[in-house]
């Protein structure tokens, strides 16, 4: 069953900063960029490094461990787009960011 889980306060997510959160224990990376909030699994598809410690350029997120690069808009791995990070739908209500996750 999918449910929207509170993940962070929008005011705690400055534009362009990568934030690691753990709603219900899930490792999630949040990014507030260009008026949208993106939510992805905070675990690299290569060897599981935490992506919130990576570098962001535009919509490209580079893993801090071995420099794999992902598009934060859909989680796709740039060198092989069929490989993707898990992404979560988001909504904002009352200043709180929610992610939609299977629980």
Residues in contact with ligand FES by the rule CB under 6 A: 44, 46-47, 49, 63, 65-66, 68
Nearer to ligand FES, 34 or 74 (CB): 74
Cβ atoms of 25 and 41 closer than 8 Å? no
Shortest Cβ 41–ligand FES spacing (Å):
12
Nearer to ligand FES, 30 or 63 (CB): 63
Shortest Cβ 53–ligand FES spacing (Å):
10
* Distance (Å) of CA 4 to CA 12, 70, 92, 97, 100: 19, 24, 10, 9, 4
- CA 36 from centroid of its chain's CA atoms: 12
Return the C-alpha torsion angle 7, 85, 25, 97, nearest 10.
0
Nearer to ligand FES, 5 or 65 (CB): 65
Shortest Cβ 9–ligand FES spacing (Å):
28
Shortest Cβ 1–ligand FES spacing (Å):
31
CA 93, CA 8: separation in Å to the nearest integer?
11
């Amino acid at each position: 069953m999918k449910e929207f889980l509170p993940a962070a306060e929008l005011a705690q997510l400055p534009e362009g900063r990568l934030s690691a959160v753990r709603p219900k224990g899930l490792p999630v990376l949040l990014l507030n960029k260009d008026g949208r909030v993106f939510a992805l699994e905070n675990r690299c598809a290569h060897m599981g490094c935490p992506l919130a410690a990576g570098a962001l350029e535009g919509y490209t997120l580079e893993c801090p461990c071995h420099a794999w690069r992902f598009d934060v808009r859909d989680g796709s791995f740039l060198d092989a787009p069929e490989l993707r990070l898990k992404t979560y739908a988001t909504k904002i209500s009352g200043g709180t960011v929610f992610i939609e996750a299977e629980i």
